[in-house]
Amino acid sequence: MKNEWKKGLVLFSAMLSPLAMADWQVDVNFKMDRAGKHHSAQSSVSLIPGEETVLFDNGTPSGSLIGKAELLEVTADEVKISLLVQEQCDDGAWRTIMSPIVSAGLNAPASINTSNEHLDEFASLEVEITSV
C-alpha cells in the first residue's frame, strides 16, 4: 500500500510539472508513392496526453488513408509520440503503412521513411513538435 501511495505521489507531481501541463502541437507532412500514384496529407493538430488524435483522414471512394498520433512521454529534452498510418483496402480491411514511435526535440523535425518493394511503395512522414 505504501509503494502505491508513493507511485501516486510521483505521478501527481509529474502531472503538475510545466512540461506535462503544456499544450503540444504536432505538424505532420505525409507522402506516399505507389506504382505511379501519389498520396499526401498535411496537418497541424494539438496532442492531449493519453488520447489518440486523428492527424489526417483522407477518405476517397477507393478507400481511406488515416493517420493517428498519441503523446506517450515528455521529458526536458524530447517528446515521444506513437504514430500510425493506415490505408483501407478494397475489401474493407485496414493495412498498416507505418507505425513508428518518434522521439523528437521541440522544434526539431524528425523524418521517417519506409518502403515496400512488393507493392512498389515508398512512404515518408515528417513530424515537428512544438509547445504552444
> Where do the domains of the chain lie?
18-125
The pTM of the full predicted model, rounded to 2 decimals, is 0.76
What pLDDT does residue 123 have?
Answer: 93
- Taking a C-beta distance cutoff of 8 angstroms, is the pair 17, 72 a contact? no
User: Which residues does the chain have with pLDDT short of 50?
Assistant: 2-3, 5-14, 16-18
What pLDDT does residue 9 have?
Answer: 42
- What is each CA distance from 87 to 12, 36, 69, 78, 83, in whole angstroms? 38, 17, 15, 29, 14
Residue with cell 507511485: 7
- Segment holding 101, helix H or strand E: strand 101-104
65-93 tens-digit pLDDT: 899 999 888 887 888 899 999 988 888 88
- Helix, strand, coil distribution of the chain in percent, nearest 5: 15, 60, 20
What pLDDT does residue 62 have?
Answer: 57
